[in-house]
Chains A and B, each alone.
Chain A
Amino acid sequence: DTEVTQTPKHLVMGMTNKKSLKCEQHMGHRAMYWYKQKAKKPPELMFVYSYEKLSINESVPSRFSPECPNSSLLNLHLHALQPEDSALYLCASSQWETSGNTIYFGEGSWLTVV
């Protein structure tokens, strides 16, 4: 079983809605990540948090707003999304961002924007 927990599993939202995706890990990992995966494509990195600070933003539009309240939690706030933002959003964590340690993923949140 994965030790990275993502909620909700499925989310349908309108283009004017504000919603959030949540991710939690209790492995003591200090690096957490958001990836976006479109259908039949590989995941693409969005954000990296290291020690609760944003260390990488892959030029993601501002309608996606990440937040790391503490070392165990990672949120992705969604506002004014477009239908093309519909995708699988994967959260991941690793022990430390620049180490060779394994990067573990959650089960993902399937987002549909209508």
Chain B
Amino acid sequence: AQKITQTQPGMFVQEKEAVTLDCTYDTSDQSYGLFWYKQPSSGEMIFLIYQGSYDEQNATEGRYSLNFQKARKSANLVISASQLGDSAMYFCAMREVGDTLTGGGNKLTFGTGTQLKVEL
């Protein structure tokens, strides 16, 4: 079953405006991590922001902030003051901790992504 849901296949925003990209997740783990990555057409997966499940405050990194609502299992990305260079695919991802007896594993499960287009 899909554990990360991004319901917006595509979004448009005007330059200098703020935009929110939605992400909901499903897990029975108490300890987990949520990531947002940006992927331009070049293919590189660029880390933007991280939120741990026990973090009480919402994560912020420059123009990026993560609106973490644990009870609703949502982790929306807010980009303030959008720039033309923000046009890219954005992925929400959840880290699952693997079985430590077999060596563990830091598995990232990705959502289907949101294609963001910033317009003049």
Residue B42 is within 8 A (CB to CB) of chain A in the complex:
yes
Q: Does A53 contact B (CB under 8 A)?
A: yes
- A4 to B33 Cα, complex, angstroms: 21
Q: Assess whether B105 is in contact with A50, with CB atoms less than 8 Å apart.
A: yes
| Chain B residues with a Cβ closer than 8 Å to the other chain, count | 27
Chain A interface main SS type = strand
Q: Other than the known A48-B98, A102-B35, A105-B44, what 11 A-B pairs have Cβ atoms closer than 8 Å?
A: A42-B91, A55-B98, A55-B105, A92-B108, A96-B106, A97-B105, A98-B100, A98-B105, A105-B45, A108-B44, A108-B45
Binding site for A on B (CB under 8 A): 33, 35, 37, 42-47, 50, 52, 91, 95, 97-98, 100, 102-108, 110-113
**Pairs across A and B, CB under 8 Å, 25 listed:** A42-B111, A43-B45, A43-B108, A44-B110, A45-B108, A48-B98, A48-B105, A56-B103, A56-B107, A90-B43, A92-B108, A96-B106, A97-B104, A98-B105, A100-B33, A100-B52, A102-B47, A102-B50, A103-B106, A103-B108, A107-B42, A107-B43, A107-B44, A108-B44, A110-B43
